Structure 1
Amino acid sequence: MRFNRLDLNLLVALDALLVERSITKAAERLNLSPSATSNALNRLREYFDDELLVQVGRRMEPTPRAQGLQDAVRDVLVRVDSAIAIQPNFDPTTSDRVFRIFVSDYTQFVLAPHVLALANAARCKARFEFLPQVSNPVGELERGEADLLILPRDFLSPDHPEEVLYSEEFTCVVWADGKLAKGALNFERYLAAGHVVMRPTGNPIGESFEAWFVKRYGVTRRVAVTTYGFAPLPAMVVGTDFVATVHQRLARLAQGLWPIALRTPPLPITPMEQALQWHKYRTKDPGLVWLRELFRQAVVRMDAGIASPA
């Protein structure tokens, strides 16, 4: 198919080349030979009258013209995929679709089991691929690589629809036999303690809790341990006099696994609104309509099983 003398199949090749910045890797992504991919690049260079990708060391880098094209090309392809490629109906009992969901390990720990249990009860044949949020999840959504993002609402894009799933409080976790479990956990003891904190790898989204804490109180916590996930935090205080400030649902689940005690934070922490987001072109995608409802039902199931506060 051609538009204004451009073979539209070349846009798919251009998208792959700009993402991979390698003829070999783009060829693998396109399921083409390197020579066919190189030929596609030459035709694109001729059409746009620009080199598009130039060799810099061992890697190809986009020209300014290519950088200006990248988002526009991806937008066109996502529109086409949303309007044409998506099936008009979705039956979870027969579909072989793969849902790509970008989530934190916290969400996988507290919510994903309920999503999968409901999907199993519905005899769902579709597959779920949970992916990390360590780089740029909103960018993955923009490129059509993510079906859903599950993120705190403050980190979502203003350019796409969103829906708040639930509100999450925070609690402090200490070793049940440690000094911090005895007596009140006031601000002075909290500040003096060693803290176990999560610091994501890659390019974290949004402001860290440490930056927020310094900005609000003008002091820093003494960070004793850092890790790249939320789920290990409650376990890491066991046998120590450290404290971890943790999502309340996660902490309550961890109480059944580790000798820990929960304490009310000695400072006000704004509850987190955990939300889901999808691409604006896929609002009416029947598969995603079904998936969003599955997450809503999973929240109800999750909260029905939460124990009373310790």
Structure 2
Amino acid sequence: MRFKNLDLNLLVVLDALLTEGSVTRAARVLHRSPSAISDALGRLREYFDDELLAPVGRQLQPTPRAESLKAMVRDILVRIETSVTAQPTFDPATTDRRFRIHVSDFTQFVLGPAVMAQTARARSKAILHFLPQAAHPHRDLEHGDADLLILPAGRVSPEHPGEALFTERFACVVWRHGPLADGPWDTARYAAASHVVMRPITAQDASAYEDTHLRRAGVERRIAATTFGFATLPSLVVGTGHVATMQASLARQLSRLWPLTLRPCPIEIPPMAQVMQWHSYRARDPGLAWLRQVMHHAAAGLTEGAAPAHAD
């Protein structure tokens, strides 16, 4: 198919080249030969009257013209994909769809079991791919690399629809036999302790959710260790006098595995709202609507630290 004398199949090649930065890798992704990709690149260069991708070492670096085309090309392809693949109905018992869900290890640990139980009851044949949070989650959404994001409300994009899923409170976790397990627990003792902190490797500022609220209270934590996942926090305080500040529901579950004592946060940390978000082009996708309903039903069963969130 052609538009303005451009073979639209070439846009698929251009998207792969801009994403992979290599003729060989683009050929592998598109299941075509490198020579066919090189030929397509030549036709693209002729049409746009621009080099588009220039060799720098073993990589192909996009020209300014190619950079200006990158987002538009990806947007066009996502629109086409959502229009072509969208089905008027969805049956979880017969589908072969694969859903890509970007979540933190905390959300997967707390919500995942209930989600899997929901899909099992529905006899669903859909495959759920739980993927780690990305540095730019909305870019993955817009590129078609994610179907659903579950992330804190502060990271939600205004460009796409979303729904509140659940809220999470915070607690302090210490070793059951350590010096912080007994005695008074106030701001001064908390501030004087050494801390184990989760620093997400995807966050540009490497800032934990609670940092802002602790700074407002004048508390600057003395860090003993950092980790990239929430679920490992409790294990790192065992056998020490350290403290970890983390999601209360996750702390409660992991305290069944480790010798831990949970103590209330002496500094007020507002509950963290978790939101699920999807691409605006897929607002009427019946498969995605089913998955969102599964998420809501799973969140409705959360208790104690985490609780269902209700949009205003």
- Partners of 2:30 and 2:131 lie apart in 1 by 22
Structure 1 residue aligned with 2:291: 291
Residues 63-212 of structure 1: pairs in structure 2 closer than 5 A: 63-204=63-204, 207-209=207-209, 212=212
Q: What amino acid does structure 2 have at the position aligned with 1:296? A: H
How many aligned residue pairs are there? Answer: 307
Offset from partner CA, 1:80-137 (integer Å, 9 cap, x none):
1112222222111111111000011101110011101110111111101111114221
Q: What amino acid does structure 1 have at the position aligned with 2:201? A: T
SS at match of 1:174: strand
Offset from partner CA, 1:187-235 (integer Å, 9 cap, x none):
1111111111111224447843475257424452111011110011112
Q: What amino acid does structure 1 have at the position aligned with 2:267? A: L
Pair 1:236-2:232 in alignment = no
Q: What amino acid does structure 1 have at the position aligned with 2:187? A: F
Pair 1:2-2:2 in alignment = yes
SS at match of 1:116: helix
SS at match of 2:46: helix
* Structure 1, gaps ≥5 residues long: none
Offset from partner CA, 1:130-152 (integer Å, 9 cap, x none):
11114221110111110000000
- Partners of 1:220 and 1:74 lie apart in 2 by 43
Q: 1:6 to 1:101 in 2, by over 3 A?
A: same
Pair 1:246-2:219 in alignment = no
Q: 1:252 to 1:130 in 2, by over 3 A?
A: same
Offset at 1:302?
A: 3.0
Offset at 1:259?
A: 1.4
Say if 1:213 and 1:220, in contact at 8 Å, map to a contact too.
Answer: no
Q: What amino acid does structure 2 have at the position aligned with 1:117? A: A
Q: What amino acid does structure 2 have at the position aligned with 1:199? A: R
- Partners of 2:194 and 2:305 lie apart in 1 by 32
Q: What amino acid does structure 1 have at the position aligned with 2:272? A: M
* Structure 2, gaps ≥5 residues long: 307-312
Say if 2:102 and 2:134, in contact at 8 Å, map to a contact too.
Answer: no
SS at match of 1:303: coil
Q: 1:210 to 1:171 in 2, by over 3 A?
A: closer
Structure 2 residue aligned with 1:302: 302
Structure 2 residue aligned with 1:21: 21
- Partners of 2:114 and 2:262 lie apart in 1 by 24
- Partners of 1:219 and 1:64 lie apart in 2 by 46
Offset from partner CA, 1:232-285 (integer Å, 9 cap, x none):
111221111110001011011112111111111111112110010000000101
C-alpha RMSD of matched pairs (Å): 1.9
Residues 267-286 of structure 1: pairs in structure 2 closer than 5 A: 267-286=267-286
Say if 2:214 and 2:267, in contact at 8 Å, map to a contact too.
Answer: no
SS at match of 1:179: coil
Q: What amino acid does structure 1 have at the position aligned with 2:17? A: L
Q: 1:205 to 1:69 in 2, by over 3 A?
A: farther
- Partners of 1:241 and 1:305 lie apart in 2 by 24
Offset at 1:27?
A: 0.8
Offset from partner CA, 1:132-181 (integer Å, 9 cap, x none):
11422111011111000000011011100010101111110111111111
SS at match of 1:111: helix
The percent identity for this pair of structures is 55
**Structure 1 length normalisation: TM-score?**
0.94
